[in-house]
Amino acid sequence: MEFTQRVLNAYAQIDDRRLRAIVAGLIKHLLAYVNEIRPTDQEFEFAWDYMGRMAAKTGPERNEFLLLADVLGVSQLVESLNHDEPGTPVGFALVGPFLRANAPFRGRGAADMSDDTPGARVRITGKVYDFHTKAPIEGAILDTWQAASNGLYENQDENQPDYNLRGRYKSDRDGTFDLVALMPTAYPVPTDGPVGELLRAAKRPPNRPAHIHFIVAAPGYETLVTQVFVKGDKDIEADVVFTGDEKMLGDFKRDGDRFSLIYDFPLRRGVSTMPKAPIPA
């Protein structure tokens, strides 16, 4: 305790109160953790080498640190602590490592993919509305992205067109939207780096259940970051990033040679902010 207090005192002059509290909490828990597990010199060397290898895997196309936070449950916990509210019908979800900035705006009813993208299509319609008043929200922006049927996002796959399976849509005067997407595809998170080593050591499958990402934003409203999973998917409980739950299930129904989904997005009054996209434009 004497050593911990010495370190805390060294950072006690940080002017910003919130930053001072964050640093102090980090120091307390980090040093308590070290005291508890008593790492050997070799284990500590492995730790900083592991972080160095994560840094080497981090760049414009991929963020290994964010991926680690995802598979440890940290990312989803942050979302839950900041946004979950009793009675809200749609859950908040982590952003994940594959959001790309400046997806193209697409017209009402347009597809988010090229015509030659393989896989079944799903028409998604619904309404963006005020959670408390139920009034429709006009001009809300829905940013959506998803993996192709081969399990890869377009930034991972040179055979996909630029911004394939990505798009931004706007709600109409009555708050409704209409778009065509690919039926959600399950895929594994990247395992060719340090995070993959951790998952293999834990004997954890790297799979994410089939889903589509959505960010729904409107001025004067808290931005909703969520994912829509397929109702009945038995792999949701085993989601490697701990995100899938009952408040993010979509009832995808077959409609001829394609599928349909009706899904509404309620927004709560608040500050409209956008998460930082891990992948640049």
Domain ranges of the chain: 2-38, 68-267
Q: What is the pLDDT of residue 62?
A: 84
pLDDT tens readout for residues 88-122: 889 999 998 899 999 999 999 999 999 999 999 99
What value does the mean pLDDT of the chain take? 95
Please give the pLDDT value at position 77: 95
What pLDDT digit, counting tens, does each position of 171-195 carry? 999 999 999 999 999 999 999 999 9
**Token pair belonging to 15:** 């002017």
Q: How far does Cα 156 stand from its chain's mean position?
A: 17
Q: Would you tell me how many other CB atoms lie within 10 Å of the CB of residue 74?
A: 15
Architecture of 68-267 per CATH? Answer: Sandwich (2.60)
Average pLDDT estimate for 127-151 = 97
Give the strand pairing for 258-262 and 253-255: antiparallel
